[in-house]
Structure 1
Amino acid sequence: MKRHRSQFRSSVGDAIMRPNRMSTRSHSWLRGFARDEDGAVIVFSFFILIMMLVAGGIAIDISRQEMERARLQNTLDNAVLAAAGAPFGADPKAIVEDYFAKAQMTDYLHEIDDDGEGEDDIVTTLNSSMVKASASKEMNTHLMHLSGVKTLTATAASVAVRRVPKLEVAMVLDVSGSMGSNRKLTNLKAAAKTFVTTILNSSEHGDSVISVVPFSWNVAPGEGIYEALTVNETHHYSTCLRFDENDYNSASIDPDATYDQQIYTSLYGSFDNLTASWRSCFTEDRAEITPYSISESNLHTKIDSLHADGNTSGHLGMKWGAALLDPKFHSVATSLRGAELIDDELTDIPASYTEAETLKVIVMMGDGQNTTSYLFNDNSSYRGPNSDLVQVKWQQMEFKYAYHIYKHKTSYSENKCSKKNWECVYEASGPEQSAEFLHDVHDDRYWNIQEGEWISEYAFNRLDETLEGFISSEALDWEEAWGRMSPEYYGDITGDWGPWNDYRNSNSENGSDKDGMMDDICTATKNKGVVVYTIGFEISRGGTAETELKDCASSAAHYYRAEGVNINDAFNSIASNVVNLRLTQ
């Protein structure tokens, strides 16, 4: 039994001792594990550091790439913009290459294809040009190579398109008397012709349409435009119209509205010899509007024909310039085309104001402030029918034969005409003739204008009996009468200066009146989206003329001062500005 208990104790002791040995081994393994965990943290931390360096390197290298790309893009944009905007006939490819050479970036520019094979990078026409270019630069990475990326490539591409949209241009040119001094008209002609050439040569044939509107006392639209409008016609001397003050609030001259005809006369002058410089409307071809022309030679001829005379009416110049660009004149253009006064291909002018591809421009040149014009009062007693100017018509008669009224006798002797019971037969020979008599109502007599003598009212009233070949006697309307004589002439002959006072004082338009109407028409025109350039030619700085021209322009930048031959610079700058140049990609 003792042995058995001893063995039992030994077994129990072994069992008790065995866990103690296992505990010792566990502590050793834990201490090793702890030592192994410290190493892993270091490795992991090192890994995180490497990743941060790589990420920072990527950021730095990508930033360098973007900087180089931006530099390439900026150089490309400037290069293609300059190449597209170069004059027709220049070498766009050389311009792009020159930009890159000066930037010391020649090696990065890709070859530009302009050999006509495939899709060209350069396409130029008279009214547009397109230049495409691309470039790339390969650069070594600084830190990204740690991740296996040895190089990065910066690339750039750009397209510039110069497009001159369809242009409708009205050149409103001051040809008043002051333009005849100091070679102003000569300098204007040279500058205006250069402007015409620049505009027409910058576009396809027919895409640029130019009208020339000369103005002084008035603006003569010419027969073609006049007949396409609705006019209350009162005479046949001229085509100038009279507008009401309210008409200047609109940019249009409506063909469906009715306008009054301007009375044609002159403050001074004799019969059938109105003083040219004082005429209310100039009727010569040189003074008339040249509408919607696409011919360089015709426009040059028109400009060369301009003549300086008369006072200044800038409001009328602007009114007609605006009307020529207003879509309501489409029917007028159709009429002009039917009369073969403009080119057949001009079927869509004036374009709508909302037509995106059409730019409407007025270039107005003035050399001084608006001055006074003279008008008869609308309710004047010197308007309407039954004037004091009477026209007598007769025709030369040739004797044919005489016959006896009771006997069947015929004679070919004109002497029988004075015999009793003989009647003579005459036939008209030669053209109809006329003479004018001016009635002096105060003295009841008539001034025979052709003969230069007075006859009594009694003798005048018997002309149907005393004037061989008498046809008629008719008092002309006053509007017809004023086309033959001036108020001054009427006063000199009759001693009645009522017409002179009426014409000169009752309803005249002074410079201030015209300035107000010019402000209105300029505002109405700009509100329609028309671009208005103005040129003050040798005018006082800060004076009335400059103030009005500045206010009329689309902005301060659209107004130009010019002296002498420098007017050419103003027109050249305006021509450049109407070219639409934009970067499209």
Structure 2
Amino acid sequence: MSNAFQKKSFPFGRMIHRFLREEHGAMTPYILIFIFLMLVFGGISVDVMRFEARRVAVQNTLDRATLAVANMNQVLSLSRYGSKQAHAEAIVQDHFDKAGLGSSLEYVHLDDGINYRVVEARAKVVSNNFFMSILDVPTLNTMNASQAEQRISNVEIALVLDVSGSMYNDITRITNLKSAAKDFIDMVLKNDTENKISISIVPYNGQVNLGPDIFAMYNATHKHGYANSWCLDLPPSTYTSTSLSRFTALPQTPFADAWSSTTTSGNWVALQRPAPDSVRSHLYANVWCNPVEANYVRLHSNNIPVLKSQIEGLVAIGATSIDVGMKWGTAFLDPEAQPVVASLASRGLVPTHFSNRPAPYNTPETIDKTMKVVVLMTDGENFEQERFSDSYRSGPSPIWRANQNKDKDRNFSIFHESKVDKSTSTKLCNSRPFWVPHLSAWHSRPWNGTTPSSSACYSTTAVTSDTTQQTWQQVWEAARVKWVARQLYVRAVGGSVDSWTNQIRSLTSISTMDSRLNDVCTAAKAKGILVYGIAFEAPAGGQAAIKKCVTSPESDYFYVTADNEGINIATAFTFIATNLTQLRLTQ
């Protein structure tokens, strides 16, 4: 029994013996440990990769958001958000919300000044671990930061200011404008120690008085030389762009009063001169280009005392042509005006450090960028603009005037070709083509203080003494247009005062002027010029025209001021000064 059992159990014993002596499975525990470690480190890698992907997503979102806020085209609205800081925070948060990272944003700080905009933002990065939590590391986290700064090296500002008669009719208007504009100059320039900011002053009423130095830089025609009257009439085609060629023929605006009325009943009425202002007799209420030296244009200056002195000296008189003011304001920001500024700088009329202005418009490749700004202000609306026909602007007229030594009143007479009969020599001799209105008579020669003999022949070659043929500008300096129309034309050859006045000058309608204003505003905005508008106690028409002109959004660029509603003009200028920033992209 015992032997049998031993025989049966021997194979099992040998199997155990072989198992105990076998070495082929000795590495299995190590392999298992190694596989475990690979899984652990692989899991850590997955967790780290997930964390890094989230960190990169947060960082990219931070960078995009800060650059968006700092971008010079990004308007930070005070009216909608209450503060620029609040608007900056809203923009950054919007970027994070759209990226699905809304809870990550921790901090936004905006530093926005006249010469810079700096945006700093921080966001937390938190990634929940799948594998590292086994090692009691449930999350990976860090704090990302981004800062963007934009700066434009140079700023060119044109203050286009309404100095029409309505600004004087309510004397507080011109007074308040002067105070607000002077404060604006202080705010904008006081911290500019590097000559980066220039301000041009472009006063306008019915016209823009360039002054003799700027006037001389353009191709003026029909020059007349009346003292302190340096306006140019612009062709309609010029309003579709910001530029104005110095070589385009631009007729000088006559010193003339075509608006004031005249007596149309009865016969002779003594000479009526251009109408003086009812209060300030040295000024002319209805002359389109008022000869006021204080209202000359000043270009590209940062001399605070000089600029403020000019603002203080502004004189309110005349009509309102907002389109003309805006056109010249943009023209002096357009690079085509650079030779004008360079010439003025060479003569000490513009600071030499601004001799290269206006700068070229910005392009994506422009390194030394320039911000161009127009501040357009009015208290009214466009008023039908006068434009003289070329044949009545300059050169000899058919009108004669007696010399003072022979006629203390220096009475006029006028030659009418229609009264010359050349059919026979006798009829030519008997022609009486010179109308003498104060005598209600036709003469054979111009009035020279004496009446010619009734038998005196008319001669085309006669030389007359003691009287002088007048140029058209001499006529307009002495007499208002409607007096000339009535006394020298209507009474002589018929027609009406209005028909003759309309032949001498035409009127540009308000709707056309509004359209021109819109055209030049559109051109300015297309060039990147920022257009701010102030409707200073203006009527509805003026408000609508200015509102249509400004840069979008209107809520940030258009200001309505009134005595008892809206903001006052000082606040409007303060807001604009605060909004002007210099930006240069850096990272």
**Structure 2 equivalent of residue 305 of structure 1:** 313
SS at match of 2:371: strand
Q: Give the drift of 1:166.
A: 0.9
Whether the 8 Å CA contact 1:69–1:155 is kept in 2: the answer is: no
CA distance in 1, matches of 2:482, 2:497: 8
SS at match of 1:575: helix
Give 1:44-83 correspondences, 5 Å limit.
Answer: none
Of 549, 554, 568, 2:551 maps to 554
Q: Give the drift of 1:486.
A: 0.6
Q: Give the drift of 1:38.
A: 9.9
Q: What's the CA shift string for 1:460-495, capped at 9, x where partnerless?
A: 999xxxxxxx98643112233112221233356546
Letter in 2 for 1:347: S
**Structure 2 equivalent of residue 92 of structure 1:** none
Tell whether 2:256 aligns with 1:268: no
Q: What's the CA shift string for 1:318-365, capped at 9, x where partnerless?
A: 111011111121221122223332223322111112454211111111
**Structure 2 equivalent of residue 163 of structure 1:** 151
Q: Give the drift of 1:508.
A: 0.7
Letter in 2 for 1:374: E
Of 180, 191, 197, 2:186 maps to 197
**Structure 2 equivalent of residue 386 of structure 1:** 397
Letter in 2 for 1:192: A
Q: Give the drift of 1:366.
A: 1.8
Q: What's the CA shift string for 1:139-161, capped at 9, x where partnerless?
A: xx999698799998946565564
Q: What's the CA shift string for 1:265-299, capped at 9, x where partnerless?
A: 11328655543111111111122212222211111
Q: What's the CA shift string for 1:289-324, capped at 9, x where partnerless?
A: 122222111111111122322221111001110111
SS at match of 2:352: coil
Give the direction of change, closer, same or farther, for the CA distance of 1:216–1:161 in structure 2 (3 Å limit): same
Q: Give the drift of 1:172.
A: 0.8
Give the direction of change, closer, same or farther, for the CA distance of 1:461–1:134 in structure 2 (3 Å limit): farther
Give the direction of change, closer, same or farther, for the CA distance of 1:479–1:499 in structure 2 (3 Å limit): farther
SS at match of 2:373: strand
Between 242-251 and 52-61, the greater mean CA deviation after superposition: 52-61
Of 271, 286, 291, 1:278 maps to 286
Q: Give the drift of 1:239.
A: 1.2
Residue segments in structure 1 that go unaligned for 5+ positions in a row = 1-16, 82-94, 96-122, 396-432, 463-469
Whether the 8 Å CA contact 1:383–1:479 is kept in 2: the answer is: yes
**Structure 1 equivalent of residue 265 of structure 2:** none
**Structure 1 equivalent of residue 386 of structure 2:** 374
Letter in 2 for 1:177: G
Of 354, 360, 369, 1:352 maps to 360
**Aligned alpha-carbon RMSD (Å):** 5.2
Give the direction of change, closer, same or farther, for the CA distance of 1:50–1:232 in structure 2 (3 Å limit): closer
Q: What's the CA shift string for 1:232-278, capped at 9, x where partnerless?
A: 13311221111221121232221122211112211328655543111
Give the direction of change, closer, same or farther, for the CA distance of 1:67–1:161 in structure 2 (3 Å limit): closer
Give 1:148-159 correspondences, 5 Å limit.
Answer: 154=142, 159=147
CA distance in 1, matches of 2:546, 2:374: 12
CA distance in 1, matches of 2:131, 2:139: 10
TM-score, normalised on structure 2? 0.66
**Structure 2 equivalent of residue 187 of structure 1:** 176
Give the direction of change, closer, same or farther, for the CA distance of 1:64–1:547 in structure 2 (3 Å limit): closer
SS at match of 2:518: helix
**Structure 2 equivalent of residue 414 of structure 1:** none
Letter in 1 for 2:260: Y
**Structure 2 equivalent of residue 86 of structure 1:** none
Whether the 8 Å CA contact 1:220–1:239 is kept in 2: the answer is: yes
CA distance in 2, matches of 1:345, 1:46: 74
Give the direction of change, closer, same or farther, for the CA distance of 1:569–1:391 in structure 2 (3 Å limit): same
Tell whether 2:541 aligns with 1:544: yes
SS at match of 1:573: helix
**Structure 2 equivalent of residue 211 of structure 1:** 200
Letter in 1 for 2:287: R
SS at match of 2:157: strand
Give 1:500-519 correspondences, 5 Å limit.
Answer: 501-504=499-502, 507-519=506-518
CA distance in 2, matches of 1:52, 1:294: 66
Give the direction of change, closer, same or farther, for the CA distance of 1:19–1:37 in structure 2 (3 Å limit): farther
Tell whether 2:214 aligns with 1:243: no
Whether the 8 Å CA contact 1:326–1:350 is kept in 2: the answer is: yes
CA distance in 1, matches of 2:552, 2:410: 55
Q: Greater strand percent: which structure? A: 1
Equivalent pairs: percent with the same residue? 26
**Structure 2 equivalent of residue 316 of structure 1:** 324
Whether the 8 Å CA contact 1:197–1:296 is kept in 2: the answer is: yes
Q: Give the drift of 1:210.
A: 0.9
SS at match of 2:242: coil
SS at match of 1:278: coil
Q: Give the drift of 1:560.
A: 2.4
CA distance in 1, matches of 2:496, 2:40: 108
CA distance in 2, matches of 1:544, 1:129: 36
Of 169, 172, 176, 2:164 maps to 176
Whether the 8 Å CA contact 2:242–2:331 is kept in 1: the answer is: yes
Letter in 1 for 2:412: L
Whether the 8 Å CA contact 1:61–1:144 is kept in 2: the answer is: no
Whether the 8 Å CA contact 1:392–1:473 is kept in 2: the answer is: yes
Of 557, 564, 572, 1:570 maps to 572
Give the direction of change, closer, same or farther, for the CA distance of 1:580–1:33 in structure 2 (3 Å limit): same
Tell whether 2:488 aligns with 1:477: no
Of 242, 246, 252, 2:243 maps to 252
Between 338-347 and 316-325, the greater mean CA deviation after superposition: 338-347
Whether the 8 Å CA contact 1:168–1:350 is kept in 2: the answer is: yes
Q: Give the drift of 1:387.
A: 3.2
Q: Which has the larger radius of gyration?
A: 1
